[in-house]
Structure 1
Amino acid sequence: MIAKSPRLSCKFFAINQVSVPMLIEMHTIFNNYYENADLDTFILDMSKKSGVFVLKDLTNKRIVGFSTWTEMPITYKGEQAIGVFSGDTIVEEAYWGNKAMHTAFALQAVKTKLKNRGAKVFWLLISKGYKTFLLMTNNVPVHYPSINPDNQRNADLKEVVDTYCKALYPYAYDEKNQLLDFGDNYHALKSHVATISPSMRAENRNIQLFERLNPTWQRGTELPCVAEISLDCIVFFFKKLMFGRRKVRAEKFGKSLA
């Protein structure tokens, strides 16, 4: 008998729509996966965001994950552009692999792109674990850093990384190594979260790249990344999403006949 998948929803909330009970529930999840995750700092950081995606399990009516979102003006090659900053992201382990939050993020990106048709839109991401890094490399073709350094479109994005890191985190940005180091009291992933096994390292070039560029990730250093959110990129994501769903349905159908 095939186990039922959980009924999930992911909704975007402007930061002024986030209630105190929601904040406490999100902090509880955050505290389960991160070290140095005190409530006061969590609330202060959350207050600086534009909004948050909230992932809920509709069966038991509780929050099981979230991801923050902030829009900011940036400059790219001398022209005004929009940066979409993706900050703290965490999903309970039982729900890893679901696409509800990915889809909500993509829809919000579509809205932002359509509102700014004449400007480039970039996804700004800092990654202290390989899972976040793969979220970008697996779903957005034009990104930096990249395992394809000869792709000039990818390499050109280095400018964006330097720009937003110097603007947001001048005190923590190590420009030489392109890492953000917030010190020993920064919230690092707990030891059981996002571990990298030898087989994972051997089989996935992007995991190799992440670990090479951020060798101190276990103590909380962040790898700054960027990807261009173009209309082609959004079409690519939704095609991939729909193909994946058809594949999963076909596998389930095959098992039901076995």
Structure 2
Amino acid sequence: MSKLVAEIIWQHQLDAKLRQTMYDLYEIYYEGTTPGIFHEDLNQKNYIIALWDTEKRLQGFSTVAVWEFELENQAKRAIFSGDTIVNRDYWGEQTLPLAWCRLAGQIKAQAPLVPLYWFLIVKGYRTYRYLPLFAHHFYPTYRYPTPPEMQRLMDYLAEQKFGPDYDSKTGLIRFPISRGHLRGSWADIKDGYEDKPDVRYFLDRNPDYGKGDELVCLMELREDNMRSHARRGFMAGMNSEG
């Protein structure tokens, strides 16, 4: 299997053909979505990380929005991860997480003194497991309670983005009708993974993930909070020319 190549594309540079190719790939793995829902979400993003194989075929992508806001009299920024999928043939391949960390570093370099957070809503255990791989401290986790200031930040971002669909008591976003959830067997827990602490915690917090419920998660993107591989990508992005 050949290695994938990542390309960062501005959302406004996408043409209709690539948009359709992205949706076609997404629809293979997700149900409860429509072209309208998909493209509306895509229009709210700043960047797309596209994954190409050696024959320039799209094998995956992730969408990224950057928010600038003020909370408790402090300027802050957040990266919001949107629709993400990688062709099953390339699951476990690390091109996407490394490209994402590099892009996060480039975004941090735009305003290095302003706190930058990764705000993501998680509807699958595979995505949740990136948090302990990326960060020393992230929320929520079984390892330690969420500090009040981080909970306020999570609540603020979730309420701003999702309004009444967010329940601060559970930390879950529940849409009246699913806006996308993994199809059938793709949502199943891999054999032997049910007893992994992070997987068990995710399932306890978001038992109806298979219906499209999403768990609100957060980590701060800064050098000393990132683990080795993620930190290298992040710092490469911070030190790049763009």
Q: Is TM-score (shorter-chain normalized) higher than 0.5? A: yes
Query: How many angstroms does 1:189 deviate by?
Result: 1.0
Gaps of 5+ in 1: 242-258
Residue pair 1:131, 1:194 contacting (<8 A) in 2 also = no
- The total of aligned residue pairs comes to 233
Q: Which residue number corresponds to residue 248 of structure 1?
A: none
Query: How many angstroms does 1:182 deviate by?
Result: 1.0
The reply to whether residue 192 of structure 1 matches residue 185 of structure 2 is yes
Larger deviation, residues 67-76 vs 121-130: 67-76
Gaps of 5+ in 2: 234-242
The reply to whether residue 236 of structure 1 matches residue 228 of structure 2 is yes
The reply to whether residue 65 of structure 1 matches residue 60 of structure 2 is yes
The reply to whether residue 39 of structure 1 matches residue 32 of structure 2 is no
Counterpart Cα distance in 2 of 1:37 and 1:178: 23
Counterpart Cα distance in 1 of 2:46 and 2:84: 14
Query: How many angstroms does 1:199 deviate by?
Result: 2.6
Q: State percent identity of aligned pairs.
A: 24
SS in 1 for 2:118: strand
Normalising by the residue count of structure 2, what TM-score does the alignment of the two structures yield?
A: 0.90
Q: 1:220 to 1:123 in 2, by over 3 A?
A: same
SS in 1 for 2:194: helix
Q: Find 1:89's aligned residue among 62, 84, 92.
A: 84
Q: Which residue number corresponds to residue 237 of structure 2?
A: none
The reply to whether residue 207 of structure 1 matches residue 199 of structure 2 is yes
Relative CO higher for 1 or 2, CA cutoff 8 Å, sep ≥ 6? 2
Q: 1:108-147 residue pairs with structure 2 within 5 A?
A: 108-147=103-142
Q: 1:217 to 1:170 in 2, by over 3 A?
A: same
Q: 1:139 to 1:194 in 2, by over 3 A?
A: farther
Residue pair 2:178, 2:211 contacting (<8 A) in 1 also = no
SS in 1 for 2:83: strand
Q: CA RMSD in A?
A: 1.9
Residue pair 1:110, 1:234 contacting (<8 A) in 2 also = no
Q: Which residue number corresponds to residue 49 of structure 1?
A: 45
Query: How many angstroms does 1:231 deviate by?
Result: 1.7
Q: 1:192 to 1:113 in 2, by over 3 A?
A: same
Q: 1:43 to 1:72 in 2, by over 3 A?
A: same
Residue pair 1:127, 1:223 contacting (<8 A) in 2 also = yes
Q: Which residue number corresponds to residue 252 of structure 1?
A: none
